[in-house]
Amino acid sequence: MTERKEFPARKTAYVSKLQSIVEQHKTCLLATADFVGSKQLQQIRKEMRGNGAVIMGKKTMMRQVLRKMAESKPELEKLVPQVRGNIGLIWTNSDAAAIRDQIAANKVPAAAKVGQIAPLDVFIPAGPTPLDPGHTSFFQALNIATKISRGAIEILNEVHLIKPGDKVGNSEVALLNKLGIKPFSYGMNVLMVFDDGQLFDVKMLDIKEEQLLTAFAACSSRVAALSLAIGYPTLASLPHLINHTFQKLVALSLATDYEFEEAKRFKEAVANPQAAAALGASAAAAPAAAASAAAADFAAPAAPEAKKAADEPPPEEDTGVFGLFD
């Protein structure tokens, strides 16, 4: 029977550190670290002091720790599938958008390398170069128009050397190195955010609170309009239904002798509008006018019936004498 090997002290310390950081922080930013050197990573960690911690390491061990902690915190299970490739975990309790901007600002220029995929466009600007006329054949091989000016090669037109997604070749790297151009910059690139048990794309951090409120108000208006149109009550249409019902009650109160507490000020405003205006009740004038119009609409259907009743002769009184055919 073979003895079980003890867990190395270095790995034990790493596991304890990761567990402690996860327990102390609620937000995690998942960021790729392609082409990020140790010196740059050290600078990022230095800038993050006091605001969070950057965790890099073996992905198998990171997933193992997260799965173990997910037994008590099930929401951490969402992070496990995302821990793959050259990725780092940035844990913080600060504003995720501010941390994202801080990480994105820490980039260093880098020269192009043979075989890498270009992340952006690379242009060679027109103008003089530090190269002597002996390099003319090199530019001719790349189909770049040049001329000799004051003993140096001058590029006549701006050259679109590399497009995004292209694989960088030997000739492009040689030309950029000769001209001393470092076209790329590398740093940690935040892809996703884990906050309060929810995992979402980092682009969601660019949505402002005002945009959310505007979108919510627009959706609520549409739901309320649809609910009122089909006669199906919802929480969005409830305030409108209450408002319409109150207007009808006020109209009924103004058209009849019935009175309730909330309708008193409307009755007073209709009965004596000048006094209401003198008391500074300008705000009550509009509801009173609306209530008056509603009362007129409410009483309007009864007017023809009243007129018809007035035109008809009064019924004959019953004298108790029977006619011939009664």
**Residue 309 falls inside a structural domain:** no
Joined tokens for residue 223: 């739901």
* Same-domain check for residues 18 and 95: yes
Please tell me the predicted confidence (pLDDT) of residue 293: 52
> Would you say the C-alpha torsion 173, 179, 180, 185 has a positive or negative sign?
negative
Do residues 86 and 31 share a domain?
Answer: yes
Supply the pLDDT for residue 27: 92
Specify whether the CB–CB gap between 53 and 25 falls below 8 A. Answer: yes
Contacts of 84-87 spanning 24+ positions with Cβ under 8 A: 84/59, 85/32, 85/59, 86/32, 86/33, 86/34, 87/30, 87/31, 87/32, 87/33, 87/59, 87/191
- Identify whether residues 176 and 234 lie together within a single domain: no
Q: What is the pLDDT of residue 275?
A: 62
Q: What is the DSSP letter of 166?
A: P
Quick one: 32 and 96 in the same domain? Answer: yes
Q: Give which of 38, 191, 22, 184 is closest to 103, Cα–Cα.
A: 191
**Would you say residue 195 lies in a domain?**
yes
Q: Is residue 93 part of a domain?
A: yes
Buried/exposed code over 292-318 (b: 16+ C-beta within 10 A; e: otherwise)? bebbeebeeeeeeeeeeeeeeeeeeee
* DSSP states of 260-321: -GGGHHHHHHHH-HHHHHHTT-HHHHHHHHHHHHHHHHHHTTHHHHHHHHHHSPPPPP--S-
Q: Residues 56, 92: one domain?
A: yes
Query: What range does the domain containing 43 cover?
Result: 9-107+187-206
Which positions of the chain have pLDDT values less than 70? Answer: 1-7, 275-326
Please report the pLDDT score of residue 319 as a whole number. 43
3 state SS of 234:
coil
Q: With respect to residue 141, please indicate whether it lies within any of the assigned structural domains.
A: yes
Contact 212, 255 (CB under 8 A): no
Check residue 210 and give its pLDDT. 87
Do 290 and 221 share a structural domain? yes
Q: Are residues 235 and 295 located together in one domain of the fold?
A: yes
Pair 57, 199 in one domain: yes
- CATH of residue 21's domain is 3.30.70.1730
Where is the domain boundary, 167, 182, 197?
Answer: 182
Query: Beta strand 189-195 with 27-32: parallel, antiparallel or unpaired?
Result: antiparallel
Write down the pTM of the prediction: 0.58
Distance CA 74, CA 126 (A): 58
Same domain, 55 and 35: yes
146 and 132 in a common domain: yes
The region that residue 298 occupies, defined by phi over 0 for left and psi between -120 and 50 for alpha, beta otherwise, is: alpha
Strand order in the sheet with 189-195: 52-55, 87-92, 27-32, 189-195, 198-201
Closest CA to 194 of 47, 69, 106: 69
* 154 and 129 both lie in a single domain: yes
Q: Does 293 fall in a domain?
A: yes
Q: Is residue 113 in a domain?
A: no
* Cα separation values, 187 from 35, 119, 256, Å: 7, 12, 77
Q: 202 and 57 share a domain? A: yes
- Residues facing 90 on adjacent strands: 29, 54
Burial of 110 (0-12, 13-18, 19+ CB in 10 A): middle
Predicted confidence at residue 89, as pLDDT, reads 92
Q: How many of the other CB atoms lie within 10 Å of CB of 36?
A: 22
Tell me the residue type at 180: G
Q: What is the pLDDT of residues 270-319, one digit of tens each?
A: 877 776 666 454 444 444 454 455 445 544 544 444 444 445 555 444 44
Chosen domain end from 206, 240, 266? 206
Domain count across the chain: 3
